[in-house]
Structure 1
Amino acid sequence: MQNKKDFNKNHRMLTLLTWAFIFLVWFIITRFNLVSHLIVPSPGEVIQTFIAIVKDGYNGISLWEHLGISMLRLLIASALAIVTAVPLGLFSGYFSKVGAVVDSIVQFYRPLPPLAYYVVLILWLGIGESSKVTLLYLAAFAPIYIACVAAVANIRVEYLLSAKSLGASGKDLFFQIVFPACLPDIFTSIRTAVGVAYTTLVSAEMIAATSGLGWMVIDASRYLKSSVIFVGIIIMGITGVLIDQGLKALEKKIVFWKGYQ
């Protein structure tokens, strides 16, 4: 049977080969002009554009400022979603009356496209940072909340009954049994929520924004600057992967018992 070390090595090799194949296809398409460069720029053009943006910025704003602004919006919204959705989700799953109040509201707005209610947020909060952060917050809130409710429902009843038989109070049950048992699902939902919020970032920066990675991509699309679009997409993809890997590392450190409960 293949051991874990060999499995991880093979997994990494397959990943590298996959991306090598993607870049090879990209190079062939642009090298032989199978598609217009206005639609698909060559790898060389994208690299040159990246170097130019790093040196001179885009629209008078440095690349790091665009990246920093987007990451700040994402960080604030995700942090707010975590500190509100986790307790509300756990309480809704544990206390049916709380669920009766909160659940229908979340289920109502969850399927709505972000741009549908973004217009309303702008009317209420203006075109500044508040409406953008709120949009990202709402996008991140629902996945965490729903996962927390489901995680509570999936806790084995024997755990709760055993704790009660040993004299555990309601507070002890929640903090010593419910919360630890839900942590693996909470971290998984946070990773999902950050990804959803990141995809919503483009929508948030489409309207009345002058900075951010999403805005940079949208602005470049208006002038058919495909190499800038590719630079923005690649940066967002790489930062998204780095954020997810960071969350996985944090999960491994905190939820060390995952897979063994």
Structure 2
Amino acid sequence: MIGFAILLVYIAIFAGSFLIVRFLVKKATRDFTSLKTVTFGDESAVTSNRTASVVSVLTIFLIWGSFTGSAWVPGFLHAPGPFVGETSFTYTLETADGERDDATVFVRVVDFGEEVEKFEVDPGEGIARNDAVAMPASRSTTILFDKNDEATRKDGARVVAIDGTPIAPGDEVKTDAGRFTLTDKGAISFAPPAGLQMEPIWLPPPEAVVARMVEIASEGYRDSTLWQHLGYSLFRVIAGFFFGALLGIPLGYAMGLSNWFRGWFEPIVEFMRPVPPLALIPLVIIWFGIGETGKIILLFLASLWIMAIAARAGVSGVNISKVHAAYSLGASKLQIMRYVIMPNSLPEIFTGARVAMGVCWGTVVAAELVAASEGAGMMIMVASKFQLTDIVLMGIILIGVIGFGIDILMRKAENYLVPWKGRS
């Protein structure tokens, strides 16, 4: 239910933002790209809309804050929260000989994070006695109604109605107080209205994640600061990627230029390419242990095949007319390699490097989940054991931000080093 509501809100904001930008902002600005004769299918005519990017990020933040009751989001934008306060309902008890009596259960529902404290009420008189129940919001509880009744379930007594509505095992009754069912043993299962907001244990609000990040950045976590954890992960990724590219690019060039090299290495590369790096973790641990060497070798293997395939594709994709033109001008094989093949294969290599870096990030987190004393993955693993969702979410966000930052740097480097990309 909550997931469906989030999806609907996201789609509505996306559609609304698109229409606003399409019909208002675009009319107020002049887009010279639209004057091109051919735009559909032309890559140069499609650029990232910065307004859409900003609205996209704000939308995610808004949905996150709305469905967690964040103090950073205005209250009128909050999704309906769970019921908090006091309520009551009346159940009808029927004894084995058919005698009936009513009793009231007073329920006190406390908000997320508040301590549940028991309280008492006047039990009253009769076969059925009044009860008091305290419980947290968005949860269900089983009410042993007969713990103070004169007639108990062991004597054959049973609940036959809730607030006047008949109920039997397998039935569900909904009232203003909440939802009721009967357990197999006849106890009352009660759930107050849950609303659409998520519990902090499932998804904490943004301010809780930021507060936790500030706390760990200043005080550390598991004997290391936040920056040390991220530094270890970043070092492993860069080292593994470096060695993978160092061997993978020459291997890809060899496969793209030599029939023998391609025939020799292609079965190995194509066999290893679909194997998830995570499947190699047990072997890497057995062969190289759980230290830094094993993690770097795992990341090396994760990037090696991607870089080899990217370099091979770059060589194979060089326009043959350029090679013929170089030969006609008297260029040697070394000069063709230096001035034709390498420059024209660099765009594919950079694309492969971006993919490999993303795979390495995912792999290093998984490797640190298995065995590590420092790293972002270790933080996530330890925090998940203690249900510290704010630390888990903080680690995921930081990993994504760092990975996105690295990708931006690689794109900037590609634009600077390969300005001829996309040109014939």
TM-score, normalised by the number of residues in structure 2:
0.59
Q: Flag the structure with larger Rg.
A: 2
CA distance in 2, matches of 1:161, 1:243: 37
**Deviation of residue 17 (structure 1)?**
0.7
> Which 10-residue stretch deviates more, 110-119 or 183-192?
110-119
Q: Which has the higher strand share?
A: 2
Map 1:1-261; keep pairs closer than 5 Å.
Answer: 2-3=31-32, 11-31=49-69, 32=81, 34-261=197-424
SS in 2 for 1:41: coil
Distance 1:175-1:56 versus aligned 2 partners, 3 A rule: same
CA distance in 2, matches of 1:43, 1:8: 33
Distance 1:90-1:14 versus aligned 2 partners, 3 A rule: same
**Deviation of residue 149 (structure 1)?**
1.1
Amino acid in structure 1 at the alignment position of 2:49: H
SS in 2 for 1:139: helix
Unpaired runs of 5+ in structure 2?
1-29, 34-44, 70-80, 83-196
Q: Which has the higher helix share?
A: 1
CA distance in 2, matches of 1:167, 1:201: 48
- Asked if the contact 2:277–2:298 (Cα under 8 Å) also holds between the matched residues in 1, the reply is yes
**Deviation of residue 58 (structure 1)?**
0.9
**Deviation of residue 166 (structure 1)?**
2.3
CA distance in 1, matches of 2:271, 2:378: 29
- Asked if the contact 2:244–2:300 (Cα under 8 Å) also holds between the matched residues in 1, the reply is yes
> Which 10-residue stretch deviates more, 192-201 or 156-165?
156-165
CA distance in 1, matches of 2:216, 2:56: 28
Percent of residue pairs identical: 33
CA distance in 2, matches of 1:8, 1:228: 38
**Deviation of residue 113 (structure 1)?**
2.2
Output one character per residue of 1:218-242: Cα deviation in whole Å (capped at 9) or x when no partner: 2211111100011101111111111
- Asked if the contact 1:77–1:133 (Cα under 8 Å) also holds between the matched residues in 2, the reply is yes
**Deviation of residue 9 (structure 1)?**
10
TM-score, normalised by the number of residues in structure 1:
0.94
- Asked if the contact 2:369–2:380 (Cα under 8 Å) also holds between the matched residues in 1, the reply is no
CA distance in 2, matches of 1:63, 1:216: 9
CA distance in 2, matches of 1:173, 1:206: 47
- Provide the aligned length of Structure 1 versus Structure 2: 259
RMSD: 1.8
Unpaired runs of 5+ in structure 1?
none
CA distance in 1, matches of 2:68, 2:314: 48
**Deviation of residue 156 (structure 1)?**
1.6
